[in-house]
Structure 1
Amino acid sequence: MLFKTCSNSLEKMKLVDAIQRLGIAHLFEIQICTALSDIHENELNISSLREVALRFRLLREHGLWVSPDVFKKFRGEDGTFNEYITNDPKGLICLYNAAYTLTHGEPELKDAVSFARHHLESLASSLGSPLAEQVKRALHVPLPRTYRRLEALHYMPEYEREEGHSPILLELAKLEFNLLQAVHLKELKEISEWYSDFKGYVGLSFARDRVAESYLWGYCVFYEEEHTLTRMIFAKLVILHTLLDDTNDVGATLEEYRKLDAAIQRWDESAVSLVPGYLKKFYNKLLICFKEFDDELRLNGRYSIDHMKKEYQIIYFVSILYLEHMY
Structure 2
Amino acid sequence: MRSLPRRVPPLYAPFIHPKHTTRIQLSNATSLPPWTRSFHASSSVRVVDLSYRLHDDSGKADGDPIVMIHGLFGSKRNNQSVGNAFARILKRPVYALDTRNHGDSPHDKDHNYIALAKDVEAFLAKHSLHNATLIGHSMGAKTVMAMALRNPDCCANIIPIDNAPVDAALSTDFPKYAQGMQHVEKSQPKSQKEADMLMEPYANVLPVRQFLLSNLWRPEPGGPLKFRIPVHVLTKSLDKMADFPFTNPDETQFTKRALFIRGTKSHYVSDEMLPIIGRFFPRFELVDIDCGHWVISEKPDEFIKSVVEFLQEKEET
- With CA pairs under 8 Å and 6+ residues apart, which has the higher RCO, 1 or 2? 2
TM-score in same-fold range (> 0.5): no
TM norm structure 1? 0.24
Question: Looking at CA atoms only, which structure, 1 or 2, has the larger radius of gyration?
Answer: 1
Greater helix fraction, Structure 1 or Structure 2? 1
Q: TM-score, normalised by structure 2?
A: 0.24
